[in-house]
Structure 1
Amino acid sequence: MLGQNLRYVLIMAAGSLGGAAIGGALLGVVPSAVLLPPLSVILVISAFKVWQHQ
C-alpha cells in the first residue's frame, strides 16, 4: 500500500515536518495560548474528515 501511495506519503510527511518546524519556531515567539486554538480547530477538522471517509 505504501508503494502505491508513495507520492502522497512524501507530500504528507513534508507538510508535517514543515508544520512542526514552523510551530516549534513560533512557540518561542507567540504565546501558546494563541497557538493552541488554531491547532485545536485543525485537529477537529481533521478528525471529522477521517470520520467521514468511507
Structure 2
Amino acid sequence: MYADTNLRFTLVMAGGSVAGAALGGLLLGVFSDLVLIPALAVVLLVSAVKLARHD
C-alpha cells in the first residue's frame, strides 16, 4: 500500500513538472522575464509548502 501511494505521488509530481515546463516554454515568448520569474517563484514557494505538509 505504501508503494502505491509513493508511486501515485511520484507520477503526479512528474506530470506537473512536465506540464509546467511545457507551459513555461510557451509563455516565455508571450510574457517578459519580469513577469515570469516572480510567477515561478510564487509557484515554487506554494509547491514547497504543499510538499512540506504532505504526509
Give the alignment's TM-score, normalised by structure 1. 0.70
Gaps of 5+ in 1: none
- Percent identity between matched residues is 53
- Over the aligned positions, Cα root-mean-square deviation in angstroms equals 2.3
Aligned equivalents of 2:13, 2:54: Cα separation in 1: 17
Question: Quick check: which one's helix share is greater?
Answer: 2
How many residues get paired?
52
| Corresponding position of 1:44 | 45
| Corresponding position of 1:13 | 14
Gaps of 5+ in 2: none
